Amino acid sequence: MRLLFLLFSLFGATFGYNFLVYCPLFGHSHTKFFATIADSLTDAGHNVTFFTPTIVEKYRNVNYTKSTKDVVHMEPSEKLRAYGEQMVSGDFVRFWTEDSSATEIIPVIELFQNMYNEQAEVMRNNLDFLDDLKRRNFDVIIFESYVFSAYPLMDYLAIKTFIPSLSLTHDVALAQSIGEPAMPSVVSDVCSPFGEKLNIFERAFNAFAAPYIDFVLGYPVHRSFKPPYNVIDIRNLEPEASFVFLNSNPFVDFPRPTLTKTVEIGGISVDLNRLRSEKLDEKWSNILNLRKKTMLVSFGSVMFSKDMPMENKIALAKVMKQFPEVTFIWKYESNDTDSFAKGIENIHFFNWVPQTALLADSRLSAFFTHAGLGSINEVSYLGKPAILCPLFADQMRNAKMLARHNGSIELTKYELADKNQISEAFQKILFDESYAESAEKLAQQLENQPIKPKDLLVKHAEFAARFGRLPGLDPYSRKMSFIEYFLIDVAVLCIVILISLILLFRKLFCVVCSFVIVKQKRKIE
């Protein structure tokens, strides 16, 4: 028996690959996504190193990975720490009332690029540390596609195979880079506030947003850490990625053409079995038992309910009071709620809520959410009807994406002071059974996906580890010019032929006509 076990483990070891997941610590949801990737590969029997250099200090004490034990940190420089603080203290409060439009995005991307450039500097100043990593002979590196400091790291560690990935649903720039049809006429980019039904201006916005950002910012310049310190040609290297993992799920997202290279693993962070086994403690259970229906209200961990304009709070509380048969659990980050909710018995405020356990409980009727991708995935998998109130970044697109499945209602942040709109949405989501049915149907589909996101991830990562770069998957289309790709030259050729034929027939007609006229003239004479 022991021999068998030994043989088995030997056998297992020869099939284990060494993965490096590089995830600078700057955002909670980003790190969660990459930690799940690391854990999935560890659980499949591989050696995974989770390299997570600190940028934002406050996440440093969170244990993001579970089964992955080889977690490597790196201290930030003063400059990098300052960038991290700048990002966290970003003035998010204004997004309760202001548009987060395309013009907002350029300074944000710029800050991100400066941050990753500085992160690369920190690594360059710690080459001993990297030498240590290099000894682990990684087969594959996985990183967030726009964290470009991964390229000099990959170069220094001599890792040939790489999988740029995205903790968001869709990035037009990345798609175009690997030669995927981006279809801006029907598929919106990640920070676009549009859905799939687009008017001419929205289509124009979609078509020009990515090229404009590329024109203004382009790819950052990263140099090799090794002499002769050549510039790394990221633009030409990126398309050689073996695969690209996206945090979108084809059963939830807008349908679109993709390449074999694009692997959609959205929902991988939702561990249904674990969520269902989570038990609510007595305090929460008692609250769910108070009334027949219960709604959870939460705007996530970046935007706080306490910062929303007072008129919105008053409107929300007044509408909640109109539904005395419903209990409202409101994640509210301060203890001062008397100013707008004094004496309203069916609202329960908490600084923190066990969101997933509540969503997994059959007694919870509906979820009022800011449509962050994490919450969208959870509510989709757990099949709860939802009111989606997106505030900024990718949330507008997320909301449109989920509302398309008829299990949820979109309420814009500008309607949050409008009691009639809120009340109508509450009435529908709580008492119109069709929303719960549609939400449940989507959850069933997600549970019965032909291939589970985790399997997709593990199988493709193993395939990349075994076969390296996959030029066979690289479409020639990405080397074609705009004119060739959209058959504009063919169209011009067709038009030239058509015009020539028309001219030719006209000429013939004239010749025949003059011939006939001459003949008739002769007859008359």
Ligand X SMILES: *[C@@H]1O[C@H](CO)[C@@H](O)[C@H](O)[C@H]1NC(C)=O
Contact set with ligand X (CB under 6 A): 16, 18, 47, 61, 63, 333-335, 351, 405-406
Q: What angle do CA 516, 517, 523 make, to 5 degrees?
A: 90
Question: Which is it for the CA torsion 65, 67, 72, 75, positive or negative?
Answer: positive
What is the four-CA torsion angle of 22, 24, 27, 33, rounded to 10 degrees? 10
C-alpha span between 280 and 205 (Å, rounded): 46
CB of residue 136 to ligand X, shortest distance in Å: 7
CB of residue 304 to ligand X, shortest distance in Å: 10
C-alpha span between 367 and 493 (Å, rounded): 57
Q: What angle do CA 357, 358, 363 make, to 5 degrees?
A: 125
Asked if residues 114 and 83 have their Cβ atoms less than 8 Å apart, the reply is yes
Nearer to ligand X, 136 or 223 (CB): 136
DSSP for 94-110, written as a single string: GGGTS---HHHHHHHHH
Nearer to ligand X, 61 or 199 (CB): 61
CB of residue 170 to ligand X, shortest distance in Å: 19
Asked if residues 223 and 232 have their Cβ atoms less than 8 Å apart, the reply is yes
CB of residue 400 to ligand X, shortest distance in Å: 13
Q: Token digits for 464?
A: 């990349």
Contacts of 123 (CB under 8 A, 6+ apart): 53, 74, 129, 130, 149, 152, 153, 156, 225
Q: What angle do CA 289, 291, 292 make, to 5 degrees?
A: 95
- Which residue in 296, 279, 311, 302 sits closest to 348, CA to CA? 296
CB of residue 61 to ligand X, shortest distance in Å: 6
What type of residue sits at position 492?
V
CB of residue 17 to ligand X, shortest distance in Å: 7
Nearer to ligand X, 89 or 335 (CB): 335
Nearer to ligand X, 18 or 97 (CB): 18
Nearer to ligand X, 331 or 370 (CB): 331
Asked if residues 456 and 263 have their Cβ atoms less than 8 Å apart, the reply is yes
CB of residue 495 to ligand X, shortest distance in Å: 39
Nearer to ligand X, 172 or 465 (CB): 465
Nearer to ligand X, 215 or 352 (CB): 352
Nearer to ligand X, 191 or 436 (CB): 436
Nearer to ligand X, 182 or 402 (CB): 402
C-alpha span between 51 and 73 (Å, rounded): 6
Nearer to ligand X, 9 or 322 (CB): 9
The half-sphere exposure of 500 on its side-chain side, counting CA atoms within 13 A, is: 6
CB of residue 376 to ligand X, shortest distance in Å: 15
Residue pointed to by tokens 């066990």: 354
What type of residue sits at position 483?
I
CB of residue 213 to ligand X, shortest distance in Å: 31
Bridge partners (DSSP) of residue 351 are none
Q: What angle do CA 317, 323, 325 make, to 5 degrees?
A: 130
User: Any idea how long the chain is?
Assistant: 525
CB of residue 46 to ligand X, shortest distance in Å: 8
